[in-house]
């Protein structure tokens, strides 16, 4: 497998490379006529080059005169990288263990964001694979007699002014349950010295099948958004009473908050202040208010790769 790293220096430029086409799929996973379906994306910061140029030339070489006639550079000339199904053991807060399965693209650095179908003699269900780099991730599934849908949505927060290109490599699942990715298009941006949404890209398709004169549809939509954020420098948690008087203030390094925060007696709500620095070194402070009904607070910290990760810290109020 050959990888090419492509850097773009344009401001908020959007590249849309050729994505593999979406093909007819069956609702069930056991028919011989089932065709692979789109189930999500595997996001990388380097282009994964799986295009087989030798096969393309060989399949399109004209027998008359030795010329080459290209009848469309389709996904038939792309290679595939298959994921490995691995078992994971998760332990709950009560010590209970749960066995689960997930697909992993071993040896490739990237951000998984896809759903997949698991079926055996005991059960059949949809599951999902994601990563901490995806904030505000959501996976919605609905089923009906004539239609079903799966919607995946997530946001990647990036330190402002970073030069980033994200390649959305589409992920497919075959009838036998195997999962693979193919080369995908990229979105990139740089030079932005502010906070807020940068861009988003959606991959969507509708699969249709007619059985006994009845048409059924299955729609898939995957949306990835990219948003800029000034890098967090300090997080302060203020505990306030019902008259908005300060009871307690604690400061933390981003990503270094305690496992949980115990509210002081008399605390009615919390204020979370995040101190950041803009591109000129000026302080920028954002504040969020959390009432006593909030089970946790949300904060961000930047990773070495300039992706800002959201974390949740539980808050315990006295009875």
pLDDT 10s digit of each residue in the chain, 319 long? Answer: 333 322 222 223 233 333 332 222 333 443 444 578 899 999 999 999 987 655 544 554 444 444 434 344 445 546 899 999 888 776 766 667 877 778 999 999 999 999 888 877 777 778 888 899 999 899 888 888 888 888 999 999 999 878 888 999 999 999 888 999 999 988 876 667 788 888 889 999 888 877 778 888 889 999 999 999 999 999 999 999 999 999 999 999 999 999 999 999 999 999 999 999 888 888 999 999 999 999 999 999 999 999 999 999 999 987 7
Residue 43, Cβ density class (10 Å: 0-12 exposed, 13-18 middle, ≥19 buried):
buried
Round to whole Å and give the CA distance between 103 and 299: 29
Our CA dihedral for 195, 135, 42, 185, rounded to 10 degrees, sits at: -30
pLDDT of residue 5: 29
pLDDT of residue 271: 98
pLDDT of residue 143: 80
147-159 and 214-229 strand pairing: parallel
pLDDT of residue 122: 75
């Amino acid at each position: 497998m050959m990888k090419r790293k492509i850097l773009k220096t344009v401001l908020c430029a959007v590249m849309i490379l050729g994505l593999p086409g979406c093909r007819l799929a069956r609702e069930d996973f056991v028919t011989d006529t089932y065709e692979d379906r789109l189930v999500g994306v595997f996001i990388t910061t380097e282009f994964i080059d799986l295009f087989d140029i030798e096969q393309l030339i060989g399949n399109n070489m004209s027998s008359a005169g030795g010329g080459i006639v290209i009848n469309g550079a389709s996904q038939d000339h792309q290679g595939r990288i298959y994921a490995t199904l691995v078992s994971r053991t998760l332990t709950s807060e009560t010590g209970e263990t749960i066995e689960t399965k997930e697909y992993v693209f071993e040896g490739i650095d990237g951000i998984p964001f896809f759903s997949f179908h698991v079926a055996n003699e005991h059960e059949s269900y949809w599951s999902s694979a994601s990563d901490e780099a995806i904030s505000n991730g959501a996976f919605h599934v609905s089923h009906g007699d004539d239609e079903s849908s799966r919607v995946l949505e997530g946001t990647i927060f990036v330190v402002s002014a970073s030069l980033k290109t994200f390649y959305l490599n589409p992920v497919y699942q075959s009838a036998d349950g195997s999962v693979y990715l193919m080369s995908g298009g990229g979105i990139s941006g740089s030079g932005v010295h502010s906070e807020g949404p940068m861009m988003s890209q959606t991959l969507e398709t509708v699969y249709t099948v007619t059985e006994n004169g009845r048409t059924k549809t299955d729609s898939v939509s995957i949306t990835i958004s990219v948003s800029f954020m000034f890098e967090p420098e300090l997080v302060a948690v203020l505990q306030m009473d019902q008259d908005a008087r300060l009871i307690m203030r604690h400061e933390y390094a981003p990503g270094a908050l305690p496992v949980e925060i115990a509210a002081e007696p008399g605390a009615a709500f919390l204020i979370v202040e995040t101190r950041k620095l803009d591109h000129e070194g000026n302080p920028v402070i954002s504040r969020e208010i959390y009432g006593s009904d909030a089970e946790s607070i949300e904060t961000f910290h930047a990773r070495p790769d300039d992706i800002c990760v959201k974390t949740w810290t539980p808050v315990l109020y006295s009875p």
